[in-house]
Structure formats: C-alpha cells, structure tokens
Chains A and B, each alone.
Chain A
C-alpha cells in the first residue's frame, strides 16, 4: 500500500518537473532570437544609419531612412482610418448586442481576424493598385483592414465591462445619447481602448505580406503617399534574401529597430493594462 502511494507521488512530481521543463524551454527560442538580433543589429545603428538611404548594391554604408519614414507614414495612415472606424464599430457592437447587424458584423470581425495577411495583400492589389498603381495608401488600407478587428474587439470588450449604472445615470440626467457615449462611456473605457489600439499598431508594424503587392518598396526617401514606398519589414525581406553582406547588415539593423518598436509598444500596452487593471 505504502509503496503504491510512493509511486503515485513520484509520478506526480515527475510530471510536474516535466511540465515545468517544457513550459520554460519555449522561452529559449525567443531569448536566442532576441539576443541574436540585438547583437547583430545594435552595431549597425547610428545617426548615419537612421538618416541615410541604402547604399547601392555591393557598396558599404547607407541607412534605412527611407524604410523608417515609410513605415511610420504607412502605419500612421492606417491608424487614421482604422482607429475611428474601429472604435465606432466597437461601440455599436457593445451597445446593440442583439441586433442582426451586430451579429453579422461580429461574425465578420471574427472572419477578418483569421484572414491570412497575404490574402489581404492580393485583395487590396485589385481594389487600389490595379486602377491607381502601387502606392503607400494601398499598403495603409491593407494594414488598416488588419488593424480593425483588434481595435473593434478591444473597444467592445472594454465597454461591455463598464457598469451599466454609468450610462443609466447619465441618461437619467437628460444627457443626449451621443454625449453619454462620447463624454461618459468612452472616457471611462479609455485605457482599454488605448491599449487595444497600441496592440494593433504593434501587430501591423511588422506585417510584410500585405505590403508586397501594395506599397511595394523603393530605394529612395519618399513622402509621396501616392507612390511606392519602402517599409521596415519589406526592407528586411528584400535584403535578407539578397546575396550581398552589406545588405544583410542593413537588414539586421532594420530588424533591430523594428523589434525595438514592437517590444516598446507591447510593454506600453502591458503597463496600461496593469495600471488600469483591465483584461484584453
């Protein structure tokens, strides 16, 4: 009898150690990738790197100013489209949970969340690139569509968590509906909405596939949003697969910068959610 209990206890302990081992092994690839990118990238980054365009093939030096400016512009334009639409649609979903439109648009949010990014690239190619040519705007639209589901869901879920008495109190004071939403409900859920927005930006800033056939890429520093434009992930893709070592160096530097953006945005989200104790 005692021996069997011993065996069962040992089994339990062995299982626990095995689980702990597996769970922590997963962090190894991340740590290895992070350290490697930092090691390779940090040497590349200096003022020259940030303010110059890539040197011609086979030449040393140059920087990623074109990709940096491009990424910020493209992501900025996507945010301009996706944030208002996403927040308003999220408000609708949380305010009218029973309606047919809410059901279908909720379903479509789920669908959008699952659409592979490359498919989004193809579709926007036919919508905008085919009639108007390659442009930063088309890239922004593809990314904005990818941002939408995250912004909508985080807005909806934040607002659903707010106590209904908030809204009822404001309405009973005679405040009109739109002012209740904009002046009471949205400010109360501001932290949750904001962290959803930041998370969605972190998600799309590294997206490459939708930009392949839309913003394309360019070797020149350009702020013309109706023309082709370089972006950080696209630059990494092009230079990673090129045969030149100098271009690999540029790609390592760009990876480092992109990784820092993503890490900082994620940490900011974490801080916001922790400070206001919200769950996404």
Chain B
C-alpha cells in the first residue's frame, strides 16, 4: 500500500469515528427530547383546563361533563384509596418474600423457583388480571359484600385494590431481596455471637439496616399502583360520583385518574372536557415521576454507601 492510500484510509476511519460518536450522542439526546416532548404536550394540551378551571379543579367534587362542570376530587380519592389499600395489603407479602429470599433461603432450587414465580407475577399483562378478576373475583367479592351488608356491586375500589395488591408485590419484593442480601455478614455474625436468635437478628440488624431501601421499594410499588390502568378500569365500576359514607366509597364503584382517562378520552366531545382529562394525565405524570425518582435516588444512595 502506498502512503497516500494509507492516509486516506485512516482519514476515512477517523471520519467514521466522529460520525459514530455523534450518532451515539444523538440517540441518547432523543430520550431527553421524548421526555421533554411528553411534558410539553401534556402542559400545552391541558392549558385550557388549567386556565379556565384553575387550581380549584383538583378539589372540585363534581364531575359532570354534560353540564361542563369538572372536578378531579373523585378521581384523586379513587386513585389514592385503591393505591394505598393495595400497598397496605402488599407490604407484608413483599417483606416476607424479601426476608425469605434474602435471608432464610438465598440459594438453591426452591429459592430460584420462588424468585422466578414472583417475577412472573409482574410479567402477566394487567388486562389478563382484570379479565380474570371480572369473572372469578367479582362474584366472590359480591357474596362477601352481601354478608357484611353493603351494596353488592362486586366491582369497585375494594376489588380493584385486591388485584392491584398482587400486581405490585414483585417490585418491592425484588428490590428488598437484593438489599437484604447485601447486609454485611459481620453485622449479622456479631449479633449471633452475642446470642441473638435468627428472629432477633432480622428484627434488630437486618430490618433497621435495610429500612430506607425497603422504603424505596415500597415507593416503586406505589408508583406502579398509581399509574396502573387496565386491570383497574375493568374492575373499578367507573362511577364519577362519590358516595357519602366511607364504607360505600370503599366497597362501591369509583374511578381512578387512569381509569377515567381510559374510559372517557375517546368520548370527550368538547375542548374543555378533553383538556380536563389531559390535566389528570399531567397530574398523574408528575406524581408517578416524582415518586419514582425519589425511590431511585434512595436506592442509588443506599447502594453506593
């Protein structure tokens, strides 16, 4: 090869290097652009509602699109109630899985089997949970409701929470497992050497040591629960009116922010109605993003120490 040709070749290689590096940067800039685009679209499209309904929109108690009255309170209550009920039901189970897989049985086929099964719970599409629950769980809940003397709708906040609880267990459980496995063994051995039983080691060494990490896992589960759409839409009964007593709200039909968007977005026939729905989406976006980022921040800080 003569000298000129070799120079040409290395010159073209260098050009390719620059192009390749530029492509990489562009691709990762795309992610930033997409997120910015999502935010801008939500704000712009919900602007008519933000402007004309103001901040009072969030605690307006009546949602009546026919008469152009919009209040998000029923959906906020519905979302918070389903998510927190689901969270409270799921916490003991996710903690139990985390403690079992992290401390009692971290290796071996049984541990692997349980771990894979828990991961599968998160893999099953939410619409399938909704469909199953509509035909199997709803009749069970209905007969339960007859027994405790509330209106036997079957569908409603309570049913949605039950299904949601199962769906969010894997998130906190997986994180908790890996964090409990990371507890330094000298700490545990020290406690054992002092004569502590296994339960005492878990209670006074492992759980305090992993407290903030387990909390982060709960936040991730909560973020999942708040945004979950399909299973809830199928099961919650879709009523925008709020009942008078807590018992009726809890067992009766309701609506969450996600489910009202899923149900009414396609029907929204005038600008303010559509815009009010998008504002719900904007609120949902902010709440889930903040919860997720706090959770992730706690995890990074925790794993770095």
Contact = CB atoms under 8 A, between A and B. Distances in A.
Interface of A: 8-9, 11-12, 15-16, 18-27, 29-30, 32-34, 36-37, 84-85, 88-89, 91-93, 95-96, 101-102, 104-105, 107-123, 125-127, 145, 148, 152, 176-178, 181, 202-203, 205-209, 212-213, 233, 236-237, 240-241, 248, 251, 255, 258-259, 262-263, 266, 270
Contacts of A95: 24
Interface string B15-40: 01101110111011111101101100
Contacts of A37: 128, 132
Interface string B124-168: 111111111011100000000000000000000000000000100
Contact of B293 (A96, A110, A121, A237): A110
Contacts of A104: 32
A118 B281 contact: yes
A60 to B, nearest CB: 19
B202 A15 contact: yes
B23 A88 contact: yes
B262 A209 contact: yes
Contacts of B14: 176
B87 interface: no
Contacts of B200: 8, 12
B198 interface: yes
B252 to A, nearest CB: 19
B234 A177 contact: no
B114 interface: yes
Nearest to B167: A29
Contact of A116 (B101, B258, B266, B293): B258
A108 B114 contact: no
A37 B36 CA distance: 40
Given A108-B32, A127-B37, A23 B17 contact: no
Interface in B228-259: 228-230, 234, 258
Contacts of A8: 197, 199-200
Contacts of A11: 197, 199
A118 B86 CA distance: 20
B296 interface: yes
Contact of A233 (B42, B127, B134, B173): B127
Contacts of A126: 41, 45
B227 interface: yes
B interface residue count range (under 10 / 10 to 19 / 20 to 34 / 35 or more): 35 or more
A25 B131 CA distance: 22
Contacts of A116: 226-229, 258, 284-285, 288
B100 A20 contact: yes
A22 B135 CA distance: 26
A213 B126 contact: no
Chain A interface secondary structure, helix, strand, loop or mixed? helix
A208 B17 contact: no
Contacts of A89: 24, 27-28, 30-31
B72 interface: no
A178 B20 contact: yes
A29 B133 CA distance: 10
Contacts of B67: none
B24 A16 contact: no
Interface in B165-184: 166, 169, 173
B117 interface: yes
A119 B284 CA distance: 8
A232 B74 CA distance: 31
B97 interface: yes
Contacts of B34: 108, 112, 145, 148
Nearest to A233: B127
A259 B35 contact: no
Interface string B110-130: 000010111111011111111
B101 A118 contact: no
A215 to B, nearest CB: 13
B93 A119 contact: no
Contact of A109 (B31, B120, B258, B291): B31
Given A12-B199, A36-B136, A19 B296 contact: no
Contacts of B27: 84-85, 88-89, 92
Contacts of A108: 31-32, 34-35
A213 B30 CA distance: 23
B157 to A, nearest CB: 18
B104 A26 contact: no
Nearest to B42: A123
Contacts of A212: 262, 265-266
Contact of A213 (B13, B42, B266, B292): B266
